[in-house]
Chains A and B, each alone.
Chain A
């Protein structure tokens, strides 16, 4: 079945270092969404990418959708302690209407 994998599973960084998580789908996606879940919290929608090769920025966060629409990345510049949490990508299931398949997630820890 359709799978969405993320790497790395965990990442520890020092505050001020950059961070990148990669999302790879076994199938072509019409769009991809990114969510952030703080420790003990619930996932919160960050952004959606639709076009091949699309790049979007939100302050220190840069999101990219691959040319083949099978992969995506989230890059955080100069991490801060407020960036701590787990980042999930999610893509629509093939023929699944409005259902999403969530990636395995990347847990980010930021140390002072």
Chain B
């Protein structure tokens, strides 16, 4: 089945530690996105990539980093500079090009501080 796989499902971070969230898609989509969702809140865009080897900051990029070395993969690193990382992280993809394409989401990763 085509889809988006995020791992791990749950992740715990220690103080001063960087952690990486995985996002893999086999939908052959060009565009990929990372969102942060806090309890009872909407989705806020962290980073997005419209094509391999290119990515742009979203609304809340501080304390996060990404890479897009392969079309299928768009990992997100939550660095120690992100002081409030506890949230639900969602990865999405779309065929890209325009905003008329729906976004397909993974199951998410829940990140907590130890």
Contacts and interface: CB of A to CB of B under 8 A. Distances in A.
Interface in B91-111: 92, 94, 96-108
A98 B40 contact: no
Interface string B31-56: 10101000011111100101000000
Interface in B64-114: 90, 92, 94, 96-108
Contacts of B102: 33, 45, 48
Contacts of A31: 99-100
Contacts, number: 61
Interface residues of A, number: 26
Contacts of B41: 104-105
A101 B99 CA distance: 10
A44 interface: yes
Nearest to A43: B105
Most buried by B among A31, A33, A102: A102
Given A98-B50, A102-B35, A102-B44, 14 more contacts: A30-B100, A42-B108, A43-B90, A45-B102, A88-B42, A88-B43, A93-B99, A97-B98, A98-B31, A98-B98, A99-B33, A99-B99, A102-B42, A105-B42
21 contacts: A30-B100, A31-B100, A33-B102, A42-B90, A44-B105, A45-B103, A97-B98, A98-B31, A98-B50, A98-B96, A98-B97, A98-B101, A99-B33, A99-B45, A99-B99, A101-B45, A102-B35, A102-B44, A103-B42, A104-B41, A107-B40
